[in-house]
Amino acid sequence: MAVTGRKLQEGRYFYNDLEINDYFETGSVVVDPQLIRAYADLSGDNYGLHLSDQTARSLGFNSLIAHGILVQGLADGLKYQSPIQIDAIASLGWNIRYTKPVYAGDRISACVRIDSKRVIRRGDRGIVRLEFKVVNQNGLTVQHGYNKLMMRLHSLSEDRG
C-alpha cells in the first residue's frame, strides 16, 4: 500500500474531515497461544492447525497459526484503540486476503488508509472505504484488504450550531 497522503493526528474524524489517501498507523498486539485458544473456544473452530504445533508442521507450517478471522478482528480492534478515532455508524463489510500466516507469538499492527469515499443518496451520511495493511513484527504483510464504513458527514453538534 503506497502511503502518500496526510498522516492523521490524534482526534475524532467524521466523513467531511477525511480525504482520500489520509492514513494512520495503529498500535500493535501479540497474538499469543492463549488468544488463539480463546478464539477457538469462542468460535468453535478447533481445527488442529490452530491448536497443535505438530498438526501445523504436518501441514507445512513452522508452528501453529492464528485463525485469519481472529487476526482480522484484532486489526479492527487496533483501529478502535488508536488515538485516531473514525466516527463510524456501522461497518458495511470486509474484503480481505490472508497473505501470510500469523504464528503464535507474532506481533501485528496495521496501516489504515482512506481509499475512497462517497455521500449516499439521502445526503446525510457517507461511505468510506478503508484500506487495511496488516503486518507482522518483521514488516511482512499478513493481511491486506478493505472495510467499508457508514459515517455521519459531521458531528451532531455541528448540526445544532
Q: Give tens-digit pLDDT for 45-93.
A: 999 999 999 999 999 999 999 999 999 999 999 999 999 999 999 999 9
The residue ranges of every structural domain in the chain are 11-160
CA atoms of 46 and 63, how far apart (whole Å):
15
Tens of pLDDT, residue by residue over 89-119, are 999 999 999 999 999 999 999 999 999 999 9
At 161, the pLDDT band (50, 70, 90 cuts) reads: very low
Domain spanning 11-160: CATH 3.10.129.10 = yes
Q: How many Cα atoms sit within 13 Å of 99 on the Cβ side?
A: 14
How far CA 123 is from CA of 11, 51, 101, 126, in Å, comes to 24, 48, 41, 8
Q: Are strands 106-119 and 23-31 parallel, antiparallel or unpaired?
A: antiparallel
pLDDT of residue 79: 96
Q: Is residue 133 over pLDDT 60?
A: yes
**Rounded to the nearest 5°, which phi and psi values hold at 14?**
-100, 170
% of the chain beyond a pLDDT of 70: 94
At 1, the pLDDT band (50, 70, 90 cuts) reads: low
At 122, the pLDDT band (50, 70, 90 cuts) reads: confident
SS (H, E, C) the chain: CCCCCCECCCEEECHHHCCCCCEEEEEEEEECHHHHHHHHHHHCCCCHHHCCHHHHHHCCCCCCECCHHHHHHHHHHHHHHCCEEECEEEEEEEEEEECCCCECCEEEEEEEEEEEEEECCCCCEEEEEEEEEEECCCCCEEEEEEEEEEEECCCHHHHHC
